[in-house]
Amino acid sequence: MKASTFVYPWDVNGDPEAPARIAALGVAQVTLAAAYHSTRALTPRHPRHRIVTAEHAAVLYPAGDRWEGREPRPYPAGDWAPGDAFGEAAAALAGAGLEVHTWVVLAHNSRLGAEHPGTSVVNAYGDRYPWAPCIAQPATRAYLTDLAAEAAVRPGARGTELESLGWYGLQHLHAHDKTGGVGLGEAGQYLMALCFCPSCREGYGRHGLDPDELATAVRAALEPVWQGAAPSDGGWPGIEKLLGESLAHTTRAYRDDTARTLQEQAVAAVRDAAPDGFQVLLHADPVSYHVGANPGVDPAHILSVADGVVVSCAGGTGTLTPFARQDRAGAVIAAHFPVVAGMGGSPGTLAADAAEARRQGATELRLYHAGLASDGDLGAVRSALAGL
């Protein structure tokens, strides 16, 4: 199975040993960040630093002329990734024989929400989610589509992986996150992800819903949860139980259509900008109402749009099955495993996990994350990949 590991430019730039060390893991590819959200990252082997603080979402290369006079527009990186940090790292990694693909984070940007509050998801209580741009808004969709095309097709890249190309919700570790005091369950998380910005209110209206009545219904459905009732789980039936079948299905139809059309537009924009043979994958979840970095998709639809998907297997490999079931010739179904033990990964079980992923239909592996992992974690990855 072809394997790729995620890497940041700051893992490579300034560390002349990094490319060979990554290649020695046994991976054929690196998925290198080209546009990324704010983070604080460990660099346990870098000769110049141990902690990198990326203070805001940024492009890790010089943004192009297409953004002149436009708002919103991508933010340049600070000293954590100066100049063409992506290009420098990509050249070094390619020099070690590694195939480079871009890693592009899209609808996840706290600085955008802070400086342009009108772009954010707004919940039924009127609270903004500044980390979550609303993908229904025309200007935001145009920004995300152009960002996908530019950040994906960097010089030297053979493909891209588009993360957060869909709805984001409440589930986000937002700087000292303190939202876990009340268990919302899957149904509550869905209701807290419903957006009521002007674009979404208009969208609900097109689907025959009164947005004020919908917001009232959402608040009423959640009130028992705030008062201590057990959250309503059980997947989609739990959401229908909380919100009512008709409202639940209509909101889902609106949100599914909004995400699908954005995904189609963004992938088309990448293909228009890319050379022949350029691979386009999406980080995705097989349940369309799920939100987050791996947004929910319809497996049949997304495999008709993109070349494949990257699917989180942190909770098990069953997430692969709905994509594999499509039996689409040539589609990439990449099983995503965390391999940083200190962050909950299991590098020691990677060989067994990969074998099970293959049985569930995986065609490739994605390993998170070579730059963050300890030497012991990397040793376990080397051993596992050597046996595949």
Q: Collect all residues with Cβ–Cβ distance below 8 Å to 86 and sequence separation of at least 6.
A: 9, 32, 33, 34, 60, 61, 102, 154
161 has a pLDDT exceeding 90: yes
At 228 the pLDDT is 82
Please write the tens of the pLDDT for every residue from 69-126. 999 999 999 999 999 999 999 999 999 999 999 999 999 999 999 999 999 999 999 9
Can you tell me the mean pLDDT for 361-383? 98
3-state secondary structure the chain: CEEEEEECHHHHCCCCCHHHHHHCCCCCEEEEEEEECCEEEECCCCCCCCEEEECCCEECCCCCHHHCCCCCCCCECCCCCCCCHHHHHHHHHHHCCCEEEEEEECCCCHHHHHHCHHHEEECCCCCEEEEEECCCCHHHHHHHHHHHHHHHCCCCCCEEEEECCCCCCCCCCCCCCCCCCCCCHHHHHHHHHCCCCHHHHHHHHHCCCCHHHHHHHHHHHHHHHHCCCCCCCCHHHHHHHHHCHHHHHHHHHHHHHHHHHHHHHHHHHHHHHCCCCCEEEEECECCCCCCCCCCECCHHHHHHHCCEEEEECCCCHHHHHHHHCCCCCCCEEEEEEECCHHHCCCHHHHHHHHHHHHHCCCCEEEEECCCCCCHHHHHHHHHHHHCC
Q: Where are the domains of the chain?
A: 2-120+132-178+256-386
Per-residue pLDDT band for 171 (boundaries 50, 70, 90) equals confident
Catalogue the long-range contacts made by 246-253 (C-beta closer than 8 Å, 24 or more residues apart): 247/209, 247/214, 247/217, 250/204, 250/207, 250/208, 250/209, 251/194, 251/204, 251/209, 251/214, 252/288, 252/289, 253/207
| pTM of the complete model beyond 0.85 | yes
Cα 315 from Cα 317, distance rounded (Å) = 7
173 has a pLDDT exceeding 80: no
At 361 the pLDDT is 97
- Residue 314 near residue 344, CB atoms below 8 Å: yes
- Residue 104 near residue 148, CB atoms below 8 Å: yes
Cα 48 from Cα 258, distance rounded (Å) = 45
Share of the chain above pLDDT 70, in %: 98
Please write the tens of the pLDDT for every residue from 182-235. 888 889 999 999 999 999 999 999 999 999 999 999 999 999 989 988 776 678
Cα 47 from Cα 244, distance rounded (Å) = 57
CA 321 from centroid of its chain's CA atoms? 20
179 has a pLDDT exceeding 90: no
Residue type for 308, please? G
Please write the tens of the pLDDT for every residue from 292-328. 999 999 999 999 999 999 999 999 999 999 999 999 9
At 180 the pLDDT is 79
Per-residue pLDDT band for 240 (boundaries 50, 70, 90) equals very high
Can you tell me the mean pLDDT for 349-361? 98
352 has a pLDDT exceeding 70: yes
Q: Looking at domain 2-120+132-178+256-386, which of 3.20.20.80, 3.30.43.10, 3.30.70.270, 3.30.910.20 is its CATH number?
A: 3.20.20.80
What average pLDDT does the structure give for the chain?
96
